[in-house]
Amino acid sequence: MKRTVEPYLWLLFSGGGVVAAFVLPVFVLLFGVLMPLGLIDWPAAGHLQALAGNVLVRLALLGAVVLCLFHAAHRIRFTSEELLGIARFDLVIAVLCYGGAVAGGVVAGLLLF
C-alpha cells in the first residue's frame, strides 16, 4: 500500500478555506472599510505594538497566512490542471504551487519574527 501526502494537502486546503471564510472578511471589513470610512477609530500605535509583541498573536497570524497560502496553492493547482488541460504536468505544478506556499510561509515567518 503506497502512502501519499494528498490527505494532508486536502487538510491544509480545508483549514485555509475556513480561515479565508471566517477570518479574512473580518480583517477586510475592519481595516479596509470601517476604519478608513471613520465609522470606528483606528487603534493606537502602542496598542497594536503591544498586541503584535505577543508570541501567540504572531503565531496565529502566521498560521492564518500559511493556511490561506496553501488553500490558494491547492485551488491554483487543480484549477489550472482542469481548465488548461495540463494534468500531465501534475508534479511540476504541485511543486510550484506548494513550493510557493512554503516560500510565502517562510517569508511571513521571517517578517513576523
Instruction: Return d(Cα 1, Cα 16) in angstroms, integer.
Output: 29
Which grid cell is 2? Answer: 503506497
**69, 105 contact by CB (below 8 A):** yes
Closest Cα partner for 16 from 76, 84, 85, 63?
63
Per-residue pLDDT at 1 = 82
Maximum separation of any 2 CA atoms in the chain, in Å: 59
Closest Cα partner for 58 from 2, 110, 6, 5?
110
**The domain over range 6-112 is classified in CATH as 1.10.357.10:** no
Task: Give residue limits of the domains in the chain.
Answer: 6-112
Closest Cα partner for 71 from 34, 19, 3?
19
Task: Return averaged pLDDT per consecutive 10 residues of the chain, 113 residues in all.
Answer: 90 95 94 96 93 95 96 94 91 96 98 94
pTM above 0.85, yes or no: yes
